[in-house]
Amino acid sequence: MTTRTGTLYGIGVGPGDPELITLKALKILKQVPRIFAAASSKNTYSIALNIVRCHLNGAGIENLPFPMTKDPEILAAAWEQNARRVLAALKEGQDAAFVTLGDPLTYSTFGYLLKTLKQLQPDLTVVTIPGVTSYSAAAALSQTPLSEGEESFYVVSGALGAARLKEALARTDTVVILKTYRHFPEIYQALAELDLLDCATFISRVGLEGETVVRDLRELKGAPLPYLSMIIVKKPRHR
């Protein structure tokens, strides 16, 4: 008798508040016998796992080491190893979940895992459960409408550089800048040059201990910023 290959569920656990998990995600997390999470290879801490820990029913938990590097070869090798680990569990016939912060297909390690798994086994059954994104929660916390009427908004990475950030700011009504913490001085400078500092709101650790909203970015100059932080820029005519 051949063993059936299990299903992998890519689960978005929301940005921090354990009550911002969908009912569907919760149901699956209580059912699956195996749960994987990405963690830095330097330590085994996974924010996503921490968010759902209070909901788990004794599933086996495994951290997948994710090297903090931009080297594409090192990353590809790590993801192949991680994908093979997940595949081995599924081939034992067990269903498994991979938990991820916010939404699994928005700037998420799940994207790499999914791509690698599909290369290794194209017919694998993978079900993705969307999650509340960090920027939806940040917009809610700061009471900032992201778009109304015919407006549009961009979601960009803080690492894209000042020139492209300025381009994005020129093209749309609202810009959400994720991954700001290391790039704050450059982002601050670009906003100051465009006279948009007064249109920007800094939001960090939404739904987690230390949650903060700062409406004057000048207060943050020189301060150490948390990894989980973003800036929402809403241009003047839309304020």
Ligand X SMILES: C[S@@+](CC[C@H](N)C(=O)[O-])C[C@H]1O[C@@H](n2cnc3c(N)ncnc32)[C@H](O)[C@@H]1O
Question: Of 64, 9, 12, which Cα lies nearest the Cα of 37?
Answer: 64
**61/199 Cα distance (integer angstroms):** 43
Binding of residue 229 to ligand X (CB under 6 A): yes
Q: In this chain, which of 179, 194, 235, 238 binds ligand X, going by CB under 6 A? A: 179
Smallest separation (angstroms) from ligand X to the CB of 222:
20
**158/232 Cα distance (integer angstroms):** 11
Binding of residue 10 to ligand X (CB under 6 A): no
Binding of residue 201 to ligand X (CB under 6 A): no
Residue numbers 72-101 binding ligand X by CB under 6 A: 101
Binding of residue 166 to ligand X (CB under 6 A): no
**170/152 Cα distance (integer angstroms):** 12
Q: In this chain, which of 64, 103, 153, 173 binds ligand X, going by CB under 6 A? A: 103
**31/128 Cα distance (integer angstroms):** 16
Of the ranges 65-73, 83-91, 105-113, 191-199, which one interacts with ligand X (CB under 6 A)? 105-113
Of the ranges 1-9, 22-30, 75-83, 225-233, which one interacts with ligand X (CB under 6 A)? 225-233
Binding of residue 154 to ligand X (CB under 6 A): no
Question: Of 68, 23, 25, 28, which Cα lies nearest the Cα of 45?
Answer: 68
Smallest separation (angstroms) from ligand X to the CB of 185:
16
SS3 category, 148: coil
**230/225 Cα distance (integer angstroms):** 10
Q: In this chain, which of 190, 228, 232, 233 binds ligand X, going by CB under 6 A? A: 228
Smallest separation (angstroms) from ligand X to the CB of 208:
5
Binding of residue 52 to ligand X (CB under 6 A): no
Q: Which is nearer to ligand X, 134 or 144 (CB)?
A: 134
Which residues contact residue 21 at a Cβ distance below 8 angstroms, ignoring those fewer than 6 apart?
Answer: 13, 14, 29, 51, 52, 55, 131
Binding of residue 205 to ligand X (CB under 6 A): yes
Pairing mode of beta strands 200-204, 229-234: antiparallel
**206/211 Cα distance (integer angstroms):** 5
Binding of residue 160 to ligand X (CB under 6 A): no
Q: In this chain, which of 5, 63, 82, 108 binds ligand X, going by CB under 6 A? A: 108
Size of the site for ligand X (CB under 6 A): 23
Q: What are phi and psi of 134, to 5 degrees?
A: -65, -35
Q: Which spans of this chain sit near ligand X (rule: CB under 6 A)?
A: 15-16, 101-103, 106-108, 133-134, 138, 178-179, 203-208, 227-230
